[in-house]
């Protein structure tokens, strides 16, 4: 397994919609393992393929510290809200270091997709797992959580990003 480089804000791949996965083979299983290792190394609870430069519709998650046993990968995810209740929760992103802001998400979602072997998976998630499903699927659609912020919070976040050392280093 390999820890991959996490792409940072400003990289065009983060604004690219990922393609459906059509081949469920050992390479996809290895990719999921690499993504889990990369996510763990970076200290995250979720990671989408385009965050490591690949435009494939797969994300990994590990909410096991918060919700028992929820760790794995979802390929070709599609989610829908269960009810209309939303919640404001602090959200960050491995591709946007040191920025964590209140972000509104649906409280409960139903997600369907496949595992890395092509088997159908479906689950109803709430709390951190629901937030993770929405955040990572957004990545696969080329959407960053900054786009989910209020205009004022987005403006503040952009100022912080422009002043960050990691963003300045990327521009050099």
Whole-number Å distance between alpha carbons of 19 and 141: 9
Whole-number Å distance between alpha carbons of 6 and 116: 21
E strand intervals along 7-166: 46-48, 58-62, 71-81, 86-93, 96-106, 108-114, 120-126
User: What are the contacts of 150-155 at 24+ separation with CB within 8 A?
Assistant: 153/101, 153/102
Angle at 61 between CA 97 and CA 78, to 5 degrees: 105
The residues that bridge with 91 in the sheet, in sequence order, are 101
- Going by their DSSP bridges, the two strands 86-93 and 108-114 should be labelled as unpaired
Active-site residue 80, yes or no?
Answer: no
Block residue for tokens 């028992």:
68
**Which among 84, 85, 136, 156 is annotated as catalytic?**
136
- Which of 30, 124, 114, 121 shows the shortest CA–CA distance to 76? 114
Catalytic residues: 136
């Amino acid at each position: 397994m390999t820890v991959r480089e996490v792409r940072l804000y400003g990289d065009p791949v983060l604004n690219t919609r990922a393609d459906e996965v059509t081949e469920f083979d050992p390479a996809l299983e290895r990719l999921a393992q690499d993504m889990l290792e990369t996510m763990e190394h970076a200290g995250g609870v979720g990671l989408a393929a385009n965050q490591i430069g690949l435009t494939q519709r797969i994300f990994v998650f590990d909410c096991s510290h918060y919700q028992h046993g929820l760790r794995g990968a979802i390929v070709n995810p599609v989610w829908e809200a269960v009810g209309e209740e939303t919640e404001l929760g602090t959200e960050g992103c491995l591709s946007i270091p040191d920025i964590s802001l209140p972000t509104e998400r649906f409280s409960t979602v139903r997600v369907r997709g496949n595992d890395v072997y092509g088997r159908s998976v479906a689950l109803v998630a709430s709390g951190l797992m629901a937030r993770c499903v929405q955040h990572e699927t957004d990545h696969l659609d080329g959407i960053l959580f900054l786009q989910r912020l209020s205009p004022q919070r987005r403006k503040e976040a952009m100022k912080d990003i422009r002043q960050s050392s990691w963003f300045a280093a990327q521009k050099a």
